[in-house]
Structure 1
Amino acid sequence: MLTAISLPRPVLDANATAGGRDLGDLPEWDLSDLYPSQDAPELKRDLDWLEDACSRFAQDYEGKLDTLDAAAFLEMVQRHEKIETVGGRLMSFAGLRYYQNTTDAERAKFLSDLQEKVTNYTTPLVFFSLELNRMADDRYESLFAANDELARYKPAFDRVRAMKPYQLSDELEHFLHDLGVVGDAWMKLFDETIAGLVFTIDGEEMSIESALNQLTEQDRAKREAAARELARVFTGNVRTFARVHNTQAKEKEILDRWRGMPSAQMARHLSNDVEPEVVQALRDAVVDAYPRLSHRYYELKRKWLGLDTMQVWDRNAPLPMETDRIVDWDEARETVMNAYSGFDPRMSEIAEPFFTKGWIDAGVKPGKAPGAFAHPTVTEVHPYVMLNYLGKPRDVMTLAHELGHGVHQVLAAGQGEMLASTPLTLAETASVFGEMLTFRRLLDHAKDKQERKVLLAGKVEDMINTVVRQIAFYDFECKLHEARRGGELTPDDINALWMSVQAESLGPAFEFMEGYETFWAYVPHFVHSPFYVYAYAFGDGLVNALYAVYEENPDGFQDKYFDMLKAGGSKHHKALLAPFGLDATDPTFWQKGLSMIEGFIDELEAMEE
């Protein structure tokens, strides 16, 4: 809904790993571009303005939307956009401070108190989308046809109109708006629980980030010790995680049932502006390709590692010939920026301020949220990138990924608050493309066959994590929400659903240790944004197809690419991809992306001959 203003919900990248020391001067956020401090008079001024602006907006427009001409409707939209901007600025500041240290009681209280105030202030705006959806179709179309400036906003309103069949009564919609802060509390419980977990490995206490990093150590005994400690801690907290998932899945089931949603996934498809059949085609194409992708690659890796059977702690193990070196921050920055500038100097120019102006928070710190994200804040400020950087080669790719998001968000800001936000399926395009540019540059500069093999294997693993693993996650979520409709799920029930997708997706090269069945517990996507995960596979497949177009015909590609990013959420994926000759609704589209992964595996197999 257009009136929803809440804390930033970055979908934390659960695949991000970190490890190492002596990394150089790691940057921290400077949030003063939002507000100087939590006690700043500017913050109180904006909070007071928001309360008054929302009240006046409701007084001026409630019950009158259907009577406005195009000029008056445009003025109303612009007033609403300003409200979204101020509310978004407030919540971005509070949310980002919280993610810097989720165990800090003062930050948690500040966020919760601000969330309640913003929710209360914006409650009078709920009428906006409700009245919009009661407007007759011919009246709606003629209104936007009458004014070119207003017509620019139509894609945002079309997405609201897509919810028309699922809209409840005005009274119930107001009730659900007010109740939103309760659902957010379960997310905060998850975040605070995850951030507060302590793992003891080889006598050293560490956070979840550092513990997950141990799964990428060269020493297999260290990887096993980490996996078993992760399992021990997850198992010890599994009842809490099961309660969070049960409650949220039940809440979603109730909302979906009252709204008449045909499936648990439908709300995500609507917010992504993507057709259910397109997502199903993607899912089916990936599952059908499991034997040609993950099964085949992990059989190769099993041989490289000299194992009869792989364990889960071997999935992200480095190759035996891979050096266990640490990439310091300066080298990571140079690697990514060179890749970006090699594609187009404009890309590195947009990325530069992230490093020089406090737009990145890179280091691992106690209480900091795990994973990585790029949060766009509001269009009149700039994005912020969060990492947990400790120097693994994969962390360089995470930097390239999140910086891609940041570049996209900067470019899309020109669309304004209502149109800048990109549906999740397309939001992953620039991030995955940034990774691809970085990988291709490294591959082009490989010194020898062995380095090329290590790079190719690393990229294949990243693509499997992005495509195969995320579609397996999606299948797990589908099963979880379907099973919850039949009643409360015990931790063992959820464990069984998790394991039902693991062997299928990873293949016969693996055995699964006792305790791995609880590893669903730490994946933040399931809690923060149900069914988000297919967006990663969507983005990877789309980028692979885009990159193939770039290789085949590079002339003019950069300008078309920048135009696509600048469009933000103003166009449907079909219109955005048309200049490249691509169409995601074509059933054969996903084979293009999957064939690139297969080609890399072909090359790795050829190296064995």
Structure 2
Amino acid sequence: MSYQLNWDMDSVFTGGSQSSELRTKIETLKEQIEQFHQTVELWDPEVDRLNYNHLKEVLNLSEKIGNSLSEAMTFSRGLLSANVRDKNAAKLTNELSTLYSSLSNSTTVLTKKYVGIDDADWADLLEIEPFNASAFPLNEQREQGKKLLSQNEEAVINALTNDGFKGWGDLYNSLVATVQVDFENKDGKVNSYSAGQAANLMGSAKDPETRQKMLEKWELAWASKSSLFADTLNHLAGFRLENYKLHGTEDFMARPLEYNRLKKETLDIMWDTITKNKPKVVEYLNRKAQLMGIEKLSWVDVTAPVSVGDFEPRHYSYDEAAEFIMENFSSFSNQMQKLAKTAFEDSWIEAEDRDGKRPGGYCANLPESEQSRIFMTFSGSAGNVSTLAHELGHAFHSYVMRDLPVMNRRYAMNVAETASTFAELVISDATVREASSEAEKINLLDSKNARAATMFMNIHSRYLFETAFYEERKNGIVTDDRLSELMVDAQKEAYQDSLSTYHPTFWASKLHFYNTGVPFYNFPYTFGFLFSLGIYARSLEEGSGFEEKYIALLRDTASMTTEALAQKHLNVDLTQPDFWQSAIDMVHTDIDEYLELTAKYI
């Protein structure tokens, strides 16, 4: 079957960024948000305490508005991702952000009223339906409310966020759209590529020398605008730090941990266990360098495909990738396969390789439609297939939670990355098992091991960089040159000085550093990778009956802390090294097999 490379947005709202349907939706949202504000202002917990019927009305309206806003924002951001030059889409996205701020102001009022309810009455409230089903997120909201400033002060911060904090994030996206990377082809002709296209070309180049030349051009492109990116990053971090300070903390890790519902001791033990196991990963990197005929890998060699014998890396058509993913999903979960089939057949995915798209990939939910939309640039590499499976994992996570209250669907990034990484594992493990030759098996194992190296080292370098950057940012602006120094220092530490070259402007080219929604958008990936490895190991032990247990775990991801989730569904303690070591041992198994198979090729 042939699948469309472009997503269907007209089934959400017809007319693109000029959609009259969307305009009607936005005007309705404005009225509903005003109604919500008035309803919240009038709500008196003391009068309502008998059965809290008025609060039920408040939360029903909040849920309706939340679903509508998410639907509209996924649409507008999707249009802008697919065409960064769509000025109307940018304008719509900004308008919807303003509505989010208005809704947030009213939610602040509601939260402060929760705080005003005494503990005994609050406990009684949480015994009543439907509040009992959302006891965890309601308690979480009330606890966070205790740190809020006055209603007026919070309103001012929200008002300044759009053109301040979020404005800097928008500026980053606009700057990225102007980045052009000049690569020379085999005939000596120089072509100019967007950031997304250049990243794909660099990642799929076949020899180390070509990749290194491309990396140098890539560095030049980002360095040419480094002062602008440095200004942007400094102001984003500065806003965050001042906001944290206003709310009583100078610990810049407090909010990321709170957001991920994660204890600091859990994060620390994860990184500590990884660091103790890095020598095995360095062993893999050194072997890969030997296979490529070089002394040490460069930054871009780590994830580049390796070939032995007469093997050539496979190129997938989009249709082949779709069938490949669906077939392998079905080996674990019929529901995952069914969801993927719907996504391909109903054109949920924007995959075309063309100019004008933003770099990267993501999955966004459409709660009213009970669908998702996936954005990426597909050029046929095995890495692209993994990205596609990864994003479909996100879509599956949203799908299995579609009937839950909005509050019970707001899972954090660390557990969000669990579902997506699990989907990748299902694909990669099956392909290694079914390899038709030793050379193919080596290539596929290399891809798995490179993924682990990314999680243990690349992501760790991001975490180390951001930690150092935020610490220095407390004392003032950090220059672009200093940012590059911090970046290389972090990369050398994370990779244990095992590479020949590094990526000084990674702080500019990696969009995750500029995400305004999620602070420290790095460690959740590594957490999700190892957490999903642990879940995957459990699925192999338990066989076909594990699908329902997996879905039950996903449905609980916004209803308890991460540690409680692991204890309930896996019976493990995340604050101890045992679980992390058992997950890392699976990586060691892959590396050992890789070292054994490749020994005769060096």
Structure 1 length-normalised TM: 0.91
Q: Is the 8 A contact 2:109 2:151 kept in 1?
A: yes
After TM superposition, give the deviation of residue 555 of structure 1 in Å: 5.2
The match for 2:577 among 577, 580, 587 is 587
Opposite residue 168 of structure 1, the aligned amino acid is L
Q: Is residue 251 of structure 2 the alignment partner of residue 273 of structure 1?
A: no
For the 8 Å contact 1:477–1:530, the answer to whether it is kept is no
Match of 2:224 among 225, 236, 240: 236
Amino acid at match of 2:171: L
Match of 1:45 among 24, 43, 46: 24
Which residue is 1:249 aligned to? 237
Cα distance in 1 between the residues matched to 2:559 and 2:53: 21
2: CA distance between counterparts of 1:137 and 1:292? 52
- 2:139 corresponds, among 154, 158, 180, to 158
Distance 1:122 1:314, change over 3 A: closer
- Contact 1:466-1:536 at 8 Å conserved across structures: yes
Once residues 433 and 574 of structure 1 are traced to their aligned partners in structure 2, the CA distance between those partners, rounded to angstroms, is: 18
CA distance in 2, matches of 1:278, 1:400: 28
Cα deviation, residue 164, structure 1: 3.4
The change in CA–CA distance for 1:586 and 1:135 in structure 2 (over 3 A counts) is farther
Asked if 1:29 corresponds to 2:18, the answer is no
Structure 2 length-normalised TM = 0.92
**Match of residue 492 from structure 2:** 503
Specify which of 287, 291, 297 is matched with residue 284 of structure 2.
297
- Which of 538, 544, 548 does residue 549 from structure 1 map onto? 538
SS of alignment partner, residue 192 of structure 2: strand
Q: Distance in 1 between matches of 2:574 and 2:55?
A: 34
* 2:193–2:355 CA contact under 8 A, matched in 1: no
Q: Mark the runs of 5 or more structure 2 residues left unpaired by the alignment.
A: 185-189
Q: Which whole-Å CA distance do the structure 2 matches of 1:558 and 1:124 have between them?
A: 40
- Which stretch has the larger CA shift, 520-529 or 378-387? 378-387
* Local SS of the residue matching 1:74: helix
CA contact under 8 A between 2:262 and 2:563: conserved in structure 1? no
Distance 1:570 1:121 in 2: 22
Q: CA deviation at 1:464?
A: 1.5
Name the CA distance, whole Å, in 2 between partners of 1:482 and 1:508: 23
Alpha-carbon distance, 1:121 to partner = 6.4
Q: Equivalents in 1 of 2:585, 2:103: separation in Å? A: 51
Which aligned pairs between 1:2-21 and structure 2 lie closer than 5 A? none
Q: Retained in 1: the 8 A contact 2:71–2:365?
A: no
Q: Kindly provide the amino acid, as one letter, of the partner of residue 56 in structure 1.
A: Q
* Residues 162 and 541 of structure 1, relative CA distance in 2, 3 Å threshold: farther
Per-residue deviation, 1:170? 1.3
Assess, with a 3 A threshold, how the Cα gap between structure 1 residues 77 and 116 changes in structure 2: closer, same or farther: closer
Task: Identify which of 181, 195, 201 aligns with 1:199.
Answer: 181
> Are the aligned partners of 1:63 and 1:131 in contact in 2 as well (CA < 8 Å)?
no
Alpha carbons of 1:337 and 1:113: their partners in 2 closer, same or farther (altered >3 Å)?
same
**Deviations for 1:506-528, whole angstroms, at most 9, x for unmatched residues?**
23432226xx3112211111111
Give the Å deviation of 1:568: 4.6
Alignment of 1:212 with 2:199, yes or no, is yes
| 8 Å Cα contact 2:278/2:456 also seen in 1 | no
Residue 540 of structure 1 deviates from its aligned partner by 0.7
Letter in 2 for 1:79: L
Larger RCO (CA within 8 A; separation ≥ 6)? 1
CA distance in 2 between partners of 1:361 and 1:63 (Å): 44
Equivalent-residue separation in structure 1 for 2:74 and 2:45 (angstroms): 33
Q: Which runs of 5+ in 1 are unaligned?
A: 1-22
Moved more, 337-346 or 157-166: 157-166
Decide whether aligned partners of structure 1 residues 416 and 380 sit closer, same or farther in structure 2, where only a CA change above 3 A counts: farther
User: Which stretch shows the higher mean deviation, 337-346 or 152-161?
Assistant: 152-161
Match of 1:126 in 2: 108
Decide which of 81, 86, 90 is 2:68's aligned counterpart: 86
Q: Do residues 606 (structure 1) and 593 (structure 2) align?
A: no
Cα separation, partners in 2 of 1:116 and 1:349, compared to 1, 3 Å: same
- 1:292 deviates by 2.7
Distance 1:413 1:379 in 2: 9
Question: Helix, strand or coil: the match of 2:182?
Answer: strand
- What letter matches 2:569 in structure 1? P
Asked if 2 retains the 8 angstrom alpha-carbon contact of 1:344 and 1:558, the reply is yes
> Which amino acid in structure 2 is aligned with residue 603 of structure 1?
E
**Per-residue Cα deviation, 1:446-493 (whole angstroms, up to 9, x for no partner):** 112222111111101012212321122111111111110011111111
Amino acid at match of 1:585: T
Instruction: Give the C-alpha shift of residue 224 in structure 1.
Output: 1.8
Question: Compared with structure 1, are the counterparts of its residues 543 and 117 closer, same or farther at alpha carbon in structure 2 (3 Å cutoff)?
Answer: closer
Evaluate the alpha carbon distance shift between residue 86 and residue 313 of structure 1 in structure 2; reply closer, same or farther with a 3 A threshold: closer
Cα pair 1:415 1:570 within 8 Å, conserved: no
Report the CA distance between 1:379 and its aligned residue: 4.9
Evaluate the alpha carbon distance shift between residue 555 and residue 328 of structure 1 in structure 2; reply closer, same or farther with a 3 A threshold. Answer: closer
Residue identity opposite 2:471 in structure 1:
E
Q: Out of 47, 52, 55, which is 2:34 matched to?
A: 55
Q: Alpha carbons of 1:263 and 1:74: their partners in 2 closer, same or farther (altered >3 Å)?
A: same
Listed one character per residue, the Cα deviations across residues 116-140 of structure 1 (whole Å, up to 9, x for unaligned) are 3553466444311222233332222
Aligned residue number for residue 17 of structure 1: none
Equivalent in the alignment of 1:563:
552
1:229-285 deviations in whole A, cap 9, x for unaligned?
001111111101100111011111101111112511211211211122211221222
**1:64-83 deviation digits (Å, cap 9, x = unpaired):** 34322333322221121112
Contact (CA 8 Å) 1:155, 1:570: kept in 2 or not?
A: yes
Of 80, 94, 111, which aligns to 1:112? 94
Q: Which amino acid aligns with 2:198?
A: A
* Code of the aligned partner of 2:35: R
Residue 313 of structure 1 corresponds to 300
Paired residue secondary structure (1:323) = coil
Q: What amino acid does structure 1 have at the position aligned with 2:556?
A: A
Give the AA of the match of 2:531.
Answer: L
Counterpart CA distance in 1 for 2:2 and 2:316 is 10
3-state SS in 2 of match to 1:66: coil
Distance across 2 between alignment mates of 1:418 and 1:379: 15
Describe the superposition over 1:297-318 as per-residue Cα deviations: whole angstroms up to 9, x where unpaired.
Answer: 1111121112123322322232
Conserved 8 A contact 2:458-2:494: yes
* Residues 458 and 258 of structure 1: CA distance in aligned 2, closer, same or farther (over 3 Å): same
d(CA) in 1 for partners of 2:169 and 2:44? 35
Alignment of 1:169-208 (within 5 A): 169-182=150-163, 183-202=165-184, 203-208=190-195
In structure 2, the CA distance between the partners of 1:311 and 1:587, relative to structure 1 (3 Å rule), is closer
What secondary structure does 1:517 align onto? coil
Letter in 2 for 1:185: G
Q: Report if the CA contact (8 A) 2:40-2:109 is conserved.
A: no
Partner-residue secondary structure (3-state), 2:504: helix
Q: Report sequence identity in percent.
A: 23
**2:215 is the alignment partner of 1:227:** yes
AA paired with 1:52?
E
> What is the Cα-based RMSD across aligned positions, in Å?
2.1
Structure 2: how far apart are the matches of 1:39 and 1:304?
A: 53
Q: What secondary structure, in the 3-state scheme, does the structure 1 residue paired with 2:558 have?
A: coil
Taking the aligned partners of 1:574 and 1:313, their CA distance within structure 2 comes to 35
1:6 corresponds to: none
Would you say 1:96 and 2:78 are equivalent positions? Answer: yes
Deviation at 1:438, TM superposition (A): 0.4
Give, in angstroms, the shift of residue 391 of structure 1: 0.3
